[in-house]
Chain A
Amino acid sequence: MQFNMTPGVTDISQQVYNLHMTIFWICCAIGLVVFTAMFVSIILHRKSRGVTPATFHESTKVEIIWTAIPVLILILMAIPATRVLIAMEDTSDSDVTVLVTGSQWRWHYEYLDYDIDFFSILATPRGQIEGRLPKGQNYLLEVDRPLVIPTGKKVRFLMTSDDVIHSWWVPAFAIKKDTNPGFINEAWTRVNEPGIYRGQCAELCGMDHGFMPIVVIAKEPDDFAIWVEQEEARIAAIREEEQRLLALRMNLDEQMELGERVYLAHCAACHQPNGTGLPPMFPALKDNHVTTQDRAEHIRVMVDGRPGTSMASFARQLSLRELTSVITYTRNAWGNDTGDVVQAVEVYEYMQSKGE
Chain B
Amino acid sequence: MSTVTTADHHDAHHDHKPTGIKRWLFTTNHKDIGSLYLLFALAMFFLGGAMAMVIRLELFQPGMQFVEPQFFNQMTTMHGLIMVFGAVMPAFTGLANWMIPMMIGAPDMALPRMNNWSFWILPFAFLILIISMFLPGGGPDFGWTFYAPLSTTYSNDSTALFVFAIHIMGISSIMGAINVIVTIVNMRAPGMTWMKLPLFVWTWLITAFLLIMVMPVLAGLVTMVLTDKYFATSFFDAAGGGDPVLFQHIFWFFGHPEVYIMILPAFGIISAIVPTFARKKLFGYASMVYATASIAILSFLVWAHHMFTTGMPVYATLFFMYTTMLIAVPTGVKVFNWVATMWRGAMTFEVPMMFALAFIVLFTIGGLSGVMLAIAPVDFQYHDTYFVVAHFHYVLVSGAVFSLVAAAYYWLPKWTGHMYDEKLGQLHFWCSVISVNLLFFPMHFVGLAGMPRRIPDYALQFADFNAFISVGGFLFGLSQLIFVWVLVKCIRGGEKAPAKPWEGAEGLEWEVPSPAPYHTFDTPPQVK
Residues of A within 8 A of B (CB): 1-6, 15-16, 19-20, 23-24, 27, 30-31, 34-35, 37-38, 41-42, 45-48, 51-59, 62-63, 66-67, 70-71, 74, 77-78, 81-82, 84-86, 88-89, 104, 128-131, 135, 137-141, 159, 163-165, 167, 169, 171, 174-178, 180-183, 185-186, 199-211, 278-281, 308-310
Contacts and interface: CB of A to CB of B under 8 A. Distances in A.
B280 A35 contact: no
Nearest to B234: A182
Contacts of A128: 63
Contacts of A208: 69
Nearest to B279: A53
B348 interface: yes
Contact of B377 (A2, A62, A88, A210): A88
Given A23-B375, A45-B346, A38 B360 contact: yes
B344 interface: yes
B471 interface: no
Interface residues on B, range: 35 or more
A279 B368 contact: no
Contact of A138 (B137, B287, B365, B459): B459
A81 B156 contact: no
B25 interface: no
Contact of B284 (A57, A131, A165, A177): A57
13 contacts: A5-B381, A20-B378, A41-B345, A57-B282, A70-B332, A85-B314, A88-B380, A140-B457, A163-B153, A174-B381, A204-B454, A280-B156, A281-B137
Given A67-B329, A178-B309, A181-B149, A210 B69 contact: yes
Contact of B372 (A20, A37, A48, A57): A20
Given A63-B287, A182-B238, A55 B342 contact: no
A77 B65 CA distance: 44
Contacts, number: 296
A210 B150 contact: no
Interface stretch (B106-114, B444-452, B511-519): B444-452
B321 interface: yes
Contacts of A55: 280-281
Contacts of B452: 169, 200-202, 210
Given A53-B278, A207-B70, A210-B455, A6 B450 contact: yes
A104 B361 contact: no
A47 B457 CA distance: 51
Contact of B464 (A1, A27, A48): A1
Contacts of A137: 460
A181 to B, nearest CB: 6
A311 to B, nearest CB: 11
Contacts of A209: 69, 73, 454-455
A43 to B, nearest CB: 10
Q: Please list the 4 inter-chain residue pairs (A to B) with the smallest Cβ-Cβ separation, ordered nearest first.
A: A182-B238, A210-B455, A185-B311, A54-B344
B322 A78 contact: yes
Nearest to B70: A207
Nearest to B310: A178
A268 to B, nearest CB: 13
B63 A204 contact: no
B326 interface: yes
Contact of B339 (A41, A52, A203, A207): A41
